[in-house]
Amino acid sequence: MSRATHCPYCALQCAMFVEAAPGQAPAARPAPFPTNRGGLCRKGWTSAELLASPQRLTAPLLRTRRGDFTEVDWDTALDHVAQRLTALRERHGPDAVAVFGSGGLTNEKSYLLGKFARVALGTSQIDYNGRFCMSSAAAAGNRAFGLDRGLPFPLPDLAGAEVVLLAGANPAETMPPMMRHLAAPRLIVVDPRRTATAEQALKNGGMHLAPRPGTDLALALGLLHAVRAQGLVDTEYVAARTTGFEDAWRHAAAWWPEQTEQVTGVPAEHIRAAARALAAASGAYVLTGRGTEQHAKGTDTVSAWINLALALGLPGREGSGYGCITGQGNGQGGREHGQKADQLPGYRRIDDPAARAHVAGVWGVDPATLPGPGRSAFELLDALGGPGGPRALLVFGSNPVVSAPDAQRVRNRLAGLDLLVTADFVLSETAALGDVVLPVAQWAEEEGTMTNLEGRLLRRRALLAPPPGVRTDLEVISGLARRLGQPAERFPADPARVLAELGAASAGGAADYSGVSLERLEAGEEVFWPVPDAHATTPRLFLDSFAHPDGRARFAPVGHRPPAEAVDAEYPLLATTGRVMGHYQSGAQTRRIRELAGAQPEAFVEVHPDTGARSGLAEGALARVVSRRGAALARVRLTEHARPDTVFLPFHFAGEQAANNLTNPALDPTSRMPEFKVSAVRLEPAGPPDAPGAAAEPARAAPPHG
Ligand SMILES: Nc1nc2c(c(=O)[nH]1)N[C@H]1C(S)=C(S)[C@@H](COP(=O)(O)OP(=O)(O)OC[C@H]3O[C@@H](n4cnc5c(=O)[nH]c(N)nc54)[C@H](O)[C@@H]3O)O[C@H]1N2
Ligand SMILES: Nc1nc2c(c(=O)[nH]1)N[C@H]1C(S)=C(S)[C@@H](COP(=O)(O)OP(=O)(O)OC[C@H]3O[C@@H](n4cnc5c(=O)[nH]c(N)nc54)[C@H](O)[C@@H]3O)O[C@H]1N2
Ligand code: SF4
Ligand SMILES: [Mo]
């Protein structure tokens, strides 16, 4: 029996075998596992292609004076980076160097990267792409429950529910094997579009509520209103296990269903029916995804969904609950080990003196030398090269020129840097703008642990040898730390040693990993955090009490407010953005996989036929989707499944096709999450249906970095 690893992409972390017969390209196939139950999506099936792709980087690249890249050996590359970083720090101070990490990195890498920033660089300027992902749900979860673990229960629990409400999540495309757990429950899907997930709901006797983008908070308040008005509040649970209901209710009191219909477009009768279905179910879950979270009021919106779940008595009860569906492969673990601007390992706060003392003790440094909180992801990117902003950026596992909001602005900021270094296995759009590119090993070639959407610890296994010339991220971080004067033993490149240290650093924190060991995972134990000792596992949280000191969950008093940007005569439509099944994120990986690129080679925009007609756009026409910030070029897809006031674009494409050319970087005040899901736009015809060059990248001059 061959040993399994897990998919390189999303938080479902499907188990898979990866094998390469002699002389053949490696191939992936599903392995038995409780989460994917023997399934893989199209991305998983094709994931091994990039391991042996000719587009893979196998030598470090250094920008020459002429402006092109030249291959160099590792010593040359790392010496160069270390010298430049040292010079910039001496000249401008430690915060002149910034680090941008990723929820795709293993726990060990996330941990070592955070330590590298705080100890080897001494910078406060580190954040990561998870800030763009589920930071609003994390903030709301902490506020309500005192602890943030995406799903506080194992995924198979969902199959036993009668009703599952999915707010702004489209797992039929974003985590297809998850639908195996959602076959039996009736689904209530809240999404402006009639997605594949909404179709499934309608097929199984469920409902599709299609609010105008940016109005979920009102809808959740309207549902709470309908629950109370119909006498469906679980008053016993609310009295025994929560605080703050009356304060929260004051904000919902005005949202009777007819009023909610005015703002959201969801019929009042559907709101009442959804409230009744949730309350009548013997087991029910409320789950949130990026659709409801990626807003300038995302934290309050998630709080409103949690308020609804609390009023119905769902969280912390067997067979019911609330959960946030995390996104990236290690979206959960990536936010626990200290690559976030305000965090230290174990989900500790960097401004908490006790946390600083504990972690500094493990690291063998004086707590006073640890920097304080830094800038959040977009604020960090936006400060690059500017007055008082960082002069150098190290990127591990992200492609922000495609995936950050207001992408042209981010591109300009990167161009203003003195030094841009990227660790990647392909020349992503961000790597292509840089001064140094460091080629790293891929998932099937490295050891480590991941924490999936359920808080379940997984082993990533090296099943194949990396190509010669490639190093692991841990080796890169370790090599740079040593060149910056750190002792080698403080920055080990061996994942097992890093995991042991991570366990010690997290001990006593909210996300306690001190009892995690490779042996336990190797033995096939099911391990869910917190893991405070070698026998502990916590598949279900909150059954006895919530994590606040009084053991109660807290209702949050949240009111509705409109999106950051309003439509007007010039920009009369709303654009929302998201995903399609066959591409992953910025597309840096999946656009390089033949089958996936062939199936979806270029950007498209979903448009209601009436809106298309008004804009003079037929099926297959090229459109320019224009916002106050910029434009994206996309092929028109007319569909009755769109709202007439809303268009949808996937963000997987780059250059002039990038959806993020038009998105709004308005930030949530608590989570600092950008408003990816609402921009005011107009549609313009951009050429005939068969215009050539639609998929072409714009010409790009090499940036004149030093
Ligand atoms: N195929 C694929 N799968 C992926 C990924 C990928 O890139 N491709 N990425 C992974 C990652 S990192 C993540 S975070 C997850 C994300 O997984 P999801 O949250 O399922 O993905 P999205 O498509 O971003 O958003 C979900 C839905 O939100 C809807 N939406 C837009 N605006 C609103 C709104 O105002 N209110 C509501 N209620 N809904 C709205 C969109 O129409 C969309 O169908 O997917 C993971 N899986
Ligand atoms: N408009 C719009 N924008 C969005 C979103 C949206 O819904 N709409 N969603 C947001 C969300 S939820 C997310 S998570 C972000 C994600 O967006 P990004 O952060 O850009 O994520 P990826 O495209 O996965 O980029 C990962 C890069 O790192 C490389 N990589 C992968 N694994 C590793 C590794 O282990 N080590 C190293 N060194 N490199 C690695 C890949 O090759 C790729 O180039 O996008 C956000 N942007
Ligand atoms: S659902 Fe996610 S983890 Fe599973 S195969 Fe697809 S991309 Fe990979
Ligand atoms: Mo994400």
Give pLDDT tens digits for 154-188. 999 999 999 999 999 999 999 999 999 999 999 99
pLDDT of residue 22: 86
On whether the 61-132+330-522 domain is CATH 3.40.1170.20, my answer is: no
> Which of the following CATH numbers is that of domain 573-687: 3.90.550.10, 1.10.10.10, 2.40.40.20, 2.60.40.10?
2.40.40.20
pLDDT of residue 688: 61
Cβ–ligand 2 distance for 513 under 6 Å, the answer no
- 335 CA from centroid of ligand 4 (Å): 12
Q: What is the dihedral of CA 270, 183, 199, 7, to 10 degrees?
A: 130
Residue in 485, 521, 486 with CA at minimum distance from that of residue 503: 521
How many CA atoms lie less than 13 Å away from 520 in the CB half-sphere? 21
Q: Token pair for residue 177?
A: 């094997």
What is the phi-psi region of residue 507: left when phi exceeds 0, alpha when psi lies from -120 to 50, beta otherwise? beta
- 674 CA from centroid of ligand 2 (Å): 15
Cβ–ligand 2 distance for 657 under 6 Å, the answer no
Structure-token match 């993020």, residue found: 660
Residue of 5, 6, 12, 155 with the most ligand 3 atoms within 8 Å of its CB, for mutation: 12
pLDDT of residue 700: 40
Assign a CATH topology to domain 2-52.
Answer: N-terminal domain of TfIIb (2.20.25)
CB-CB contact of 36 with 15 (8 Å): yes
pLDDT of residue 21: 86
Instruction: List beta partners, residue 82.
Output: none
3-state secondary structure of 344: strand
* CATH architecture of structural domain 135-325: 3-Layer(aba) Sandwich (3.40)
Residue of 5, 56, 398 with the most ligand 2 atoms within 8 Å of its CB, for mutation: 398
**Positions in the chain short of pLDDT 70:** 1-2, 688-706
Residue of 129, 436, 662, 675 with the most ligand 2 atoms within 8 Å of its CB, for mutation: 129
Largest Cα separation within the chain, whole Å, is 73
Q: Where are the domains of the chain?
A: 2-52, 61-132+330-522, 135-325, 573-687
